[in-house]
Structure formats: structure tokens, C-alpha cells
Amino acid sequence: MKSIFITGVDTDIGKTFVSLGLCLSAHQDGLKVGYFKPFQSGAYEKEGKLIAPDLYELEKFCKIPTMYSYLFKGEVSPHLASIIDNVDADINKVKNDFDFFSKGKDLVVIEGAGGLYCPAIKGKLFSDVIKELNQEIIIVTTPSLGRLNHTLMTIECAKINNINIKGIIINKVPKNKTLSEENFIKELKMYTNVEILGVIPEVENKTIQNVTNVFQKILLNV
């Protein structure tokens, strides 16, 4: 069984979209794939049921198995959300859930929250969770102004914590680029040799086929 942890250089960077793309591509290739979200914040009620937003986003496109360990209502870091909901989250539950969920699957895509130093539970950042699960990471970034700094800092953070980096996915690349966006990849390559796994354009019409087409080649490198 293969697994990969999707992290980002910031919040609202497109981690769920990247996770969706990898899951859809793997599913289309006939692989048994699953999506695991250790900590899901921002849950909301719909028709009397508490909805996990990131899992719901995937389930709209494809009926692949999904799982979370903890579901919180607050749209804040998982640690703060757990305090608000008065839940004492345990990393051992996450590890046991992941081991159970992974059985019989060819690929498990794990999605974090925020970035590597986002607080996950009491005393642990997401960098700690990644090490506890013994995962390699894909870093999701965008070419927006300021994101070169965020991306390089995330790479250094991973190295300091002895976390292996599979590569970088550059997401939300617009058709009409600013000067900063136009030169983002060139500048990024000047300061790091971490592999760029894929460059994802802004996808307006998110159909199963459109998303799968964008991520098909990237999946080969995962």
C-alpha cells in the first residue's frame, strides 16, 4: 500500500482539490484508493447531519472510501477547534484509524490542515503528525505574490524535521499571469532542487473528466 500526505504552504491553497485530483486519477486507473483526513475542522449541519466539508467535496465527485478521525465545528486550527468542542484528541487514535483504513487499498491520500506548523492537537503540530504516520509529503503552493517565500520556508521546515518531500504541486495557475506569477517556477528552481510534480491551471468546470485529465500525469510520479 502506498500513501502520501498532502500539505500546503498556507490555508486555502487547494489541498483538497489536489487530493481530489489524485484520488480521481487513481480511481480511474482501477486502483483501490481512499482519502483520510485525520482532523477535519469547519463541520456544518445539513438536514440534521454534521457534514465534514473536505470529505463531502470528494464524495460529490467520486464514491471512494473516506475517513476522518476527528470532526470539529470551528473553522480554526484543529487544536483550537478541539478545545472549543471540548474534545481531548489522541494521536494514537489517528494512527490506529489510518492503519485500519489503509487495509486492502493501493493508495491512501492523506490531507492535513493549514501547513506543517499548524497546531494539530495539544503539543503536536502537523509536522509531528506526519512523522507519527511515517509519511512523505507533497507540498501544494500557488504562484501568487509572497508564495515563493512560503514555499521555501515549508521546504526548510520539512528538512529540519526530517520529513521526506516527494515534490511540489503548483496549483491555481491563472491564464493571465502577473509578472510574479510568470516567473514563479523559474525563481523557485533557483533556490531548491525539490521536484515540481505538476503545474495545475485554474479549473473552472470541475467535472470528473476535467480534473482527472489534469492530474493523470502527476499520479505517475506519486
Active-site positions read: 37
Judge whether 109 and 3 are in contact, CB under 8 Å: yes
C-alpha–C-alpha distance, residues 81 and 172, integer Å: 28
C-alpha–C-alpha distance, residues 161 and 174, integer Å: 33
Q: Which of these, 168, 222, 212, 173, lies nearest to 8 by C-alpha position?
A: 168
C-alpha–C-alpha distance, residues 104 and 120, integer Å: 27
Q: Which amino acid is at 98?
A: F
Strands 33-40 and 44-46 come out as unpaired
